[in-house]
A = this chain, B = another copy of it.
């Protein structure tokens, strides 16, 4: 985590066009979502989520619908791309150009999938830079996030993240389906591997370069037991709690109920907030009273420790700024007020 809190508890993809009467149905439903169903990032998906013969319509849907809503989070369309197929990169370039031209003020950036080694990520970054120049946007105003889903991107992850520290790169997102297919991973009856080495590296490299790290999609949306089919809340929670434990900043959501869960898991619990607000309050009081080191609950508060308390509070403030209905719902009114009014300076 960096000092500037950038929220992406939820990376929710929505097909930009589906073969229904209202082809923008899912896109609109993401834009209109309220309460805990509202994601931090909404990703209109022009890649695998939209059929090849509907991609043009998906692009028009995105350009038409996004400006109609005052979406409080960030909008990050996913375009087509492939490190191994120039025709997909050409489509991606056209989509990026069109999105920046017609939607440059409404999107924070674009999501580029199936990138390969560092050189391919630089190529994607250059495609965004070209669109910026072409349509008069300042350098760096349109962000880039990538899906890490090839052996090459995993192999170059450290170099890609280091490049990202000084670039428009914003988030590293895991893509397990393509990744498993590339490596030849197999489900022998107990599911696919979790790729724990990759996830730990994703968390580390993102952290070292000041980027966001986001987990991959979970598509067993429903499960069946004793004759009943129901939403698979448990397994998704297992996955995203694992992601939170190892320090990923957010999780991928395919579905409003997943968004509720990911938003919740990736925000401080009321207990965490109470604990850290109270520590800062006591720290501030001790600071006013005297000089020298402040000790809380038997532990000295140094700058690093203080930063952790502060992080909790700043994340809640960031959520409150974009999604006040979520913080109002989740935290006690008094606690929230204390968190919003606290003095946050160590010195």
Please give, as numbers and ranges, the residues of chain B lying within 8 Å of A162 by CB-CB distance.
Answer: 155
Please give, as numbers and ranges, the residues of chain B lying within 8 Å of A61 by CB-CB distance.
Answer: none
Does A300 touch B at the CB level, under 8 Å?
yes
Q: Which of A162, A185, A265 has the most CB of B within 10 A?
A: A185
Task: Report how far A62 CA is from B253 CA in the complex, Å.
Answer: 55
Does A227 touch B at the CB level, under 8 Å?
no
Chain A window 185-205, contacts with chain B (Cβ cutoff 8 Å), 1 for yes, 0 for no: 111100011011110110111
Contact A208 B154 (CB under 8 A): yes
Chain A window 137-173, contacts with chain B (Cβ cutoff 8 Å), 1 for yes, 0 for no: 0000000000000111011001001100000000000
Please give, as numbers and ranges, the residues of chain B lying within 8 Å of A201 by CB-CB distance.
Answer: 197
Contact segment of A126-134, A228-236, A276-284, A303-311: A303-311
Contact segment of A37-45, A70-78, A241-249: A241-249
Does A51 touch B at the CB level, under 8 Å?
yes
How far does the Cβ of A158 sit from chain B's closest Cβ, in whole Å? 6
Task: Report how far A163 CA is from B187 CA in the complex, Å.
Answer: 31
Contact A208 B152 (CB under 8 A): yes
Q: Known contacts A178-B304, A200-B197: does B192 contact A207 (CB below 8 Å)?
A: no
Does A295 touch B at the CB level, under 8 Å?
yes
Please give, as numbers and ranges, the residues of chain B lying within 8 Å of A244 by CB-CB distance.
Answer: 186, 188
Contact B178 A245 (CB under 8 A): no
The chain B residue with its CB closest to the CB of A182 is B207
Task: Report how far A151 CA is from B161 CA in the complex, Å.
Answer: 12
How far does the Cβ of A233 sit from chain B's closest Cβ, in whole Å? 16
Chain A window 287-313, contacts with chain B (Cβ cutoff 8 Å), 1 for yes, 0 for no: 000001101000010111001100100
Please give, as numbers and ranges, the residues of chain B lying within 8 Å of A1 by CB-CB distance.
Answer: 182, 184
The chain B residue with its CB closest to the CB of A55 is B293
Contact A204 B188 (CB under 8 A): no
Does A183 touch B at the CB level, under 8 Å?
yes
The chain B residue with its CB closest to the CB of A49 is B300
Q: Which of A85, A162, A200, A241 has the most CB of B within 10 A?
A: A200
Task: Report how far A52 CA is from B300 CA in the complex, Å.
Answer: 9
Does A102 touch B at the CB level, under 8 Å?
no
Does A33 touch B at the CB level, under 8 Å?
no
The chain B residue with its CB closest to the CB of A198 is B200
Please give, as numbers and ranges, the residues of chain B lying within 8 Å of A151 by CB-CB distance.
Answer: 204-205, 207-209
The chain B residue with its CB closest to the CB of A195 is B200
Contact A181 B304 (CB under 8 A): yes
The chain B residue with its CB closest to the CB of A192 is B245
- Given contact pairs A54-B293, A181-B308, enumerate 16 new A-B contacts (beta carbons under 8 Å): A48-B300, A150-B208, A151-B208, A151-B209, A155-B161, A155-B208, A181-B304, A184-B248, A185-B247, A188-B244, A188-B245, A192-B245, A196-B196, A196-B197, A197-B200, A197-B201
Interface CB pairs A-B, < 8 A, 25: A48-B300, A51-B292, A51-B300, A52-B292, A52-B302, A54-B293, A150-B208, A151-B205, A151-B207, A151-B208, A154-B208, A155-B204, A155-B205, A178-B304, A185-B203, A185-B245, A186-B245, A186-B247, A187-B245, A188-B245, A188-B265, A193-B200, A196-B196, A196-B197, A198-B204
In the A-B complex, the 6 residue pairs with the smallest Cβ-Cβ separation, listed nearest first, are A183-B247, A151-B208, A151-B207, A197-B200, A184-B247, A53-B292
